[in-house]
Chains A and B, each alone.
Chain A
């Protein structure tokens, strides 16, 4: 039930754009546990998500229920997974990014301050634009949070997690406060230590080809996705600015067109109308690119980081295992504390093997998910770009043929299929383009 691009409203609400299906295709909508965010409310500086669950599992008291959660509670859930040793061998679904309306709010404020300096139409138009933008950001953040939950629900092990069930069911506030300053500092230091360790661990060559390959692959891939993500953001921002400019041009042309009712003014009005339509579509192009390309890249940036984390944990376990082996050998040689060394070695061995086993499957799944998600999004991106280009083409061409009827000079325009403008009117505008 996709909205046609020919409608007038800047509409980002099409069914397609909803998060989980957009980014992660392989999530089987399993009847035993279905999670989604059915509603969201944006207040002063927080967003309240209504998490809706449908489940046939016996663990839950009801088959269908909803709770209200905030961003911090999602983070709490994510962190509880990360800190859980049992889940060391899994790719922990990346936490959703914090809802960030600051930029949008700032723009709305600036608009309010500059209200006096523009005409009423302009003001209303810009306000509509900004509101649409706000709405788009809002929808995105809902989608990101939903994806997180769906990934957890789809994971065979994580879906059984106790904290997850509490998160879904407990209809009171979880009293999860955000981290205070001290905890944030601790986190910061932990991260520093972790990355240093990570470098150390990564340096250890793995016996297993599969993991060695994955390690190098992921490292490179992650960096390149990061680069691609930031470049795509910049590109989309330029696109939005260009669409905004066209908006202003349309307004000014409209004013010119209403100054009097001569022929040229009617012409201006027509062109203004065209630009108005075009820029709405251009804005949609930018929005679609944002959803299908930029968001995809951002998501896989986070996922590849989670995969890297998994490899790190495995690498850590490997190093521990090897150290335990060495310690055992030493103990045996000295014949001192052998039993202790043995148990310690066994624990390390088990841990390592457990992680290795599940990690392999996780990484294979990651690849499958990634390929499928890219395929889906690239196909949709191409289809949308095509659709929009066709619509703009159609409108512009219509406008040209309308305008030709009112132009006195003959044979000004060739057919839209051809390009050359021949005839009496060519006067050298842009005819000689510099060729570098």
Chain B
């Protein structure tokens, strides 16, 4: 799948660029090369998890961290279609639409006092996709740029989820895979929808990362740190949709769903009951809202298209009108409508990227929250089961006492001791998860409030902007209409 190429003439820092093809689905073979540096030496980060992430493909080489974004791109000369001596915009050979990278000056200031800010950009050409992260972290360096693939994000998420979800932390869900979207991009279909898809994915990944690093516990997770800092990651193969791990996940999900139905929990804590109900309601309403907003986006796009076609029609009408002043006014009307159609299109983008995506994120987040509640139920159930088992064993032990079988008795007593320990542990676990959930939920609520307010205000701003423009356009047209003699 990858042809080895001679390493490019390296710059001063002995840097190597590592580029890879995005083939999350493993369906498409692309022709972009992978560059390798000659000496293999890879200091694996100490906390590399042993979970089923295997390194496929060429051996991962050490790549020294790149401090200066400029240099990184100066290296990009050998690359098949990612040539660009300038840093931005990063364009490919072909006429594919490039997403204008954000300038490094548009840094985000710290949140939650962590001193972490990230900036995201993504460039896509027909066959390769990679994600560039520039992160300003307090950990080691001031600014790091790394490239990540989409499957890396999914891999990160699955690691975090398996580690933290079951003890009650709300792990932000990663954006979903989209076979259709990715296929279109790979096939090289160069149209609005594939560029839109890239932009959608880019902003979704950015939001995902921001949420993850805002979480105080998750930020300290070594995987997250590695993700942000190290220039390469082992390929997260288990995130592929049709891999063995993927199917296992699906099976587990189904099993979980069945289990949930059978567990009947005695809720002693009213808080949980209330919160659970609250989240159910929220879920319902957010889904409804999301659907309505998606409808709105759709209709606005339609409005934009129809306005454009009306503009053309009005221009034609103006052409055939033989009264000069009226003809001119009609042409002006056509122009106004054309500008308005662009306005509608922009508004539709704002509708979507601000409002609709936020809602989608929160619908998924609430699913994660519900998952955490379910885990608590499972922990409770496990604890109860252990208690029941202990009970049974105690009964068996008392029976054995009468039966006078000393060795079996000893065994039973040992088992009882073990089980007592387990019961204690189970209780502790349950209490821990309950505590964690409380904290997490309150943090989540705070975040939610902030998020919604911020985004909705931004959205309102976009509406204001649209109206301002409309006012301008109609104000310009009015004298023209009045001038018809």
Q: Could you list which residues of chain A lie within 8 angstroms of chain B, going by C-beta atoms? A: 217, 220-221, 224-225, 227-228, 231-232, 234-235, 237-239, 241-242, 245-246, 248-249, 252-253, 255-256, 259-260, 262-264, 267-268, 271, 274, 278, 367, 370-371, 374-375, 378-379, 381-383, 385-386, 389-390, 392-393, 396-397, 399-400, 403-404, 406-409, 412-413, 416-417, 419, 421, 424-436
When the two chains form their complex, are residues A267 and B456 in contact, meaning their CB atoms are under 8 A apart?
A: yes
When the two chains form their complex, are residues A386 and B457 in contact, meaning their CB atoms are under 8 A apart?
A: no
Q: Bound state CA distance, A370 and B119, in angstroms? A: 58
Chain A residues with CB under 8 A of B325? 371
When the two chains form their complex, are residues A421 and B458 in contact, meaning their CB atoms are under 8 A apart?
A: yes
Does B147 sit at the interface, judged by CB under 8 A?
no
Does B448 sit at the interface, judged by CB under 8 A?
yes
Q: Bound state CA distance, A396 and B99, in angstroms? A: 31
- Give the top 9 A-B pairs by smallest Cβ distance, nearest first: A430-B353, A238-B303, A393-B467, A245-B296, A375-B484, A378-B481, A231-B310, A235-B306, A389-B470
Chain B residues with CB under 8 A of A407? 453-454, 457
Knowing A231-B310, A385-B470 are in contact, say whether A271-B456 is a contact too (CB < 8 A): yes
A140 CB, nearest partner CB in chain B, Å: 20
Looking across the interface, which residue of chain B has its beta carbon closest to that of A223?
Answer: B320
Looking at B68-76, B171-179, B284-292, B363-371, the stretch in contact with chain A turns out to be B284-292
Knowing A371-B323, A425-B454 are in contact, say whether A393-B481 is a contact too (CB < 8 A): no
Please report which residues of chain B, range 398-440, place their CB below 8 angstroms from some CB of chain A when the two chains form the complex.
Answer: none
Q: Could you list which residues of chain B lie within 8 angstroms of chain A, going by C-beta atoms? A: 97, 99-102, 106, 108-109, 111, 119-121, 192, 195-196, 198-199, 202-203, 206-207, 210, 278, 281-282, 285-286, 288-289, 292-293, 295-296, 299-300, 302-303, 306-307, 309-310, 312-314, 316-317, 319-323, 325-326, 329-330, 333, 346, 349-350, 353-354, 357-358, 445, 448-450, 452-458, 460-461, 463-465, 467-468, 470-471, 474-475, 477-478, 481-482, 484
Looking across the interface, which residue of chain A has its beta carbon closest to that of B120?
Answer: A428
Show 11 A/B contacts (Cβ-Cβ < 8 Å), sorted by A.
A241-B302, A245-B292, A245-B293, A252-B292, A397-B464, A413-B461, A429-B207, A430-B458, A432-B202, A434-B192, A436-B97
Q: Bound state CA distance, A65 and B210, in angstroms? A: 76
Q: How many pairs of A and B residues are in contact by the CB < 8 Å rule?
A: 233
Looking across the interface, which residue of chain B has its beta carbon closest to that of A286?
Answer: B303
Looking across the interface, which residue of chain A has its beta carbon closest to that of B333?
Answer: A378
When the two chains form their complex, are residues A427 and B108 in contact, meaning their CB atoms are under 8 A apart?
A: yes
Chain A residues with CB under 8 A of B101? 432
Looking across the interface, which residue of chain A has its beta carbon closest to that of B119?
Answer: A428
When the two chains form their complex, are residues A392 and B467 in contact, meaning their CB atoms are under 8 A apart?
A: yes
Q: Bound state CA distance, A217 and B484, in angstroms? A: 20
B348 CB, nearest partner CB in chain A, Å: 9
Knowing A238-B303, A407-B457 are in contact, say whether A416-B464 is a contact too (CB < 8 A): yes
A119 CB, nearest partner CB in chain B, Å: 11
Chain B residues with CB under 8 A of A259? 278, 281-282, 285
Q: Bound state CA distance, A220 and B303, in angstroms? A: 27
Chain B residues with CB under 8 A of A375? 326, 329, 481-482, 484
Looking across the interface, which residue of chain B has its beta carbon closest to that of A230?
Answer: B313
Q: Bound state CA distance, A389 and B454, in angstroms? A: 24
Knowing A267-B453, A408-B450, A413-B457 are in contact, say whether A433-B313 is a contact too (CB < 8 A): no
When the two chains form their complex, are residues A235 and B106 in contact, meaning their CB atoms are under 8 A apart?
A: no
Q: Bound state CA distance, A361 and B252, in angstroms? A: 85
Q: Bound state CA distance, A409 and B293, in angstroms? A: 26
Knowing A249-B289, A413-B457 are in contact, say whether A367-B323 is a contact too (CB < 8 A): yes
Looking across the interface, which residue of chain B has its beta carbon closest to that of A270?
Answer: B456
Q: Bound state CA distance, A404 and B210, in angstroms? A: 23
Knowing A374-B329, A400-B460 are in contact, say whether A428-B453 is a contact too (CB < 8 A): no
When the two chains form their complex, are residues B313 and A231 in contact, meaning their CB atoms are under 8 A apart?
A: yes
When the two chains form their complex, are residues A430 and B354 in contact, meaning their CB atoms are under 8 A apart?
A: yes
When the two chains form their complex, are residues A264 and B481 in contact, meaning their CB atoms are under 8 A apart?
A: no
Q: Bound state CA distance, A264 and B449, in angstroms? A: 6
| Sample of 9 more A-B contacts, CB < 8 Å, known A264-B449, A375-B326, A432-B202 | A221-B320, A252-B288, A403-B460, A412-B454, A421-B461, A424-B109, A428-B206, A428-B210, A434-B192
Knowing A248-B292, A264-B449, A409-B454 are in contact, say whether A256-B285 is a contact too (CB < 8 A): yes
Chain A residues with CB under 8 A of B206? 427-428
When the two chains form their complex, are residues A428 and B203 in contact, meaning their CB atoms are under 8 A apart?
A: yes
Q: Bound state CA distance, A136 and B456, in angstroms? A: 34
Knowing A386-B471, A389-B474 are in contact, say whether A396-B464 is a contact too (CB < 8 A): yes
Q: Bound state CA distance, A374 and B324, in angstroms? A: 13
When the two chains form their complex, are residues A400 and B302 in contact, meaning their CB atoms are under 8 A apart?
A: no
Q: Bound state CA distance, A319 and B321, in angstroms? A: 28
When the two chains form their complex, are residues B354 and A429 in contact, meaning their CB atoms are under 8 A apart?
A: yes
Chain B residues with CB under 8 A of A419? 461, 465
Chain B residues with CB under 8 A of A367? 322-323
When the two chains form their complex, are residues B199 and A433 in contact, meaning their CB atoms are under 8 A apart?
A: yes
When the two chains form their complex, are residues B457 and A412 in contact, meaning their CB atoms are under 8 A apart?
A: yes
Chain A residues with CB under 8 A of B481? 375, 378-379, 381-382
Looking across the interface, which residue of chain A has its beta carbon closest to that of B456?
Answer: A271
Q: Bound state CA distance, A367 and B309, in angstroms? A: 26
Knowing A228-B314, A231-B309 are in contact, say whether A396-B460 is a contact too (CB < 8 A): yes
Chain A residues with CB under 8 A of B449? 262-264
- Contact of A432 (CB < 8 Å), options: B100, B320, B350: B100
When the two chains form their complex, are residues B195 and A436 in contact, meaning their CB atoms are under 8 A apart?
A: yes
When the two chains form their complex, are residues A432 and B471 in contact, meaning their CB atoms are under 8 A apart?
A: no
- Contact of B289 (CB < 8 Å), options: A256, A406, A412, A430: A256
When the two chains form their complex, are residues A429 and B455 in contact, meaning their CB atoms are under 8 A apart?
A: yes
When the two chains form their complex, are residues B317 and A224 in contact, meaning their CB atoms are under 8 A apart?
A: yes
Q: Bound state CA distance, A335 and B203, in angstroms? A: 93
When the two chains form their complex, are residues A234 and B310 in contact, meaning their CB atoms are under 8 A apart?
A: yes
Looking across the interface, which residue of chain B has its beta carbon closest to that of A406?
Answer: B453
Looking across the interface, which residue of chain A has its beta carbon closest to that of B294?
Answer: A245
A126 CB, nearest partner CB in chain B, Å: 13
When the two chains form their complex, are residues B99 and A393 in contact, meaning their CB atoms are under 8 A apart?
A: no
Q: Bound state CA distance, A253 and B460, in angstroms? A: 14
Q: Bound state CA distance, A143 and B295, in angstroms? A: 34
Chain A residues with CB under 8 A of B320? 217, 220-221, 224
A179 CB, nearest partner CB in chain B, Å: 34
When the two chains form their complex, are residues A431 and B102 in contact, meaning their CB atoms are under 8 A apart?
A: yes
Looking across the interface, which residue of chain A has its beta carbon closest to that of B301?
Answer: A238
When the two chains form their complex, are residues B310 and A228 in contact, meaning their CB atoms are under 8 A apart?
A: yes
Looking across the interface, which residue of chain B has its beta carbon closest to that of A285?
Answer: B470
Q: Bound state CA distance, A306 and B481, in angstroms? A: 26
Looking across the interface, which residue of chain B has its beta carbon closest to that of A255?
Answer: B285
When the two chains form their complex, are residues B121 and A432 in contact, meaning their CB atoms are under 8 A apart?
A: yes
Question: Which has the most chain B C-beta neighbours within 10 Å: A367, A378, A436?
Answer: A378
Q: Bound state CA distance, A367 and B349, in angstroms? A: 43
When the two chains form their complex, are residues A430 and B196 in contact, meaning their CB atoms are under 8 A apart?
A: no
When the two chains form their complex, are residues A245 and B285 in contact, meaning their CB atoms are under 8 A apart?
A: no
Chain A residues with CB under 8 A of B346? 433
B289 CB, nearest partner CB in chain A, Å: 4
Q: Bound state CA distance, A227 and B195, in angstroms? A: 32
Q: Bound state CA distance, A400 and B206, in angstroms? A: 26
Chain A residues with CB under 8 A of B354? 429-430
- Contact of A434 (CB < 8 Å), options: B196, B471, B478, B482: B196
A206 CB, nearest partner CB in chain B, Å: 17
When the two chains form their complex, are residues B467 and A382 in contact, meaning their CB atoms are under 8 A apart?
A: no
Q: Bound state CA distance, A278 and B296, in angstroms? A: 14
Q: Bound state CA distance, A289 and B99, in angstroms? A: 37
B206 CB, nearest partner CB in chain A, Å: 5
Knowing A235-B306, A436-B195 are in contact, say whether A404-B457 is a contact too (CB < 8 A): yes
Q: Bound state CA distance, A248 and B291, in angstroms? A: 10
Knowing A228-B310, A416-B468 are in contact, say whether A430-B457 is a contact too (CB < 8 A): no
Chain A residues with CB under 8 A of B454? 407, 409, 412, 425, 427
Looking across the interface, which residue of chain A has its beta carbon closest to that of B309?
Answer: A231
Chain B residues with CB under 8 A of A274? 460
A418 CB, nearest partner CB in chain B, Å: 10
Looking across the interface, which residue of chain A has its beta carbon closest to that of B107?
Answer: A426
When the two chains form their complex, are residues A378 and B329 in contact, meaning their CB atoms are under 8 A apart?
A: yes
When the two chains form their complex, are residues B461 and A400 in contact, meaning their CB atoms are under 8 A apart?
A: yes
When the two chains form their complex, are residues B313 and A426 in contact, meaning their CB atoms are under 8 A apart?
A: no
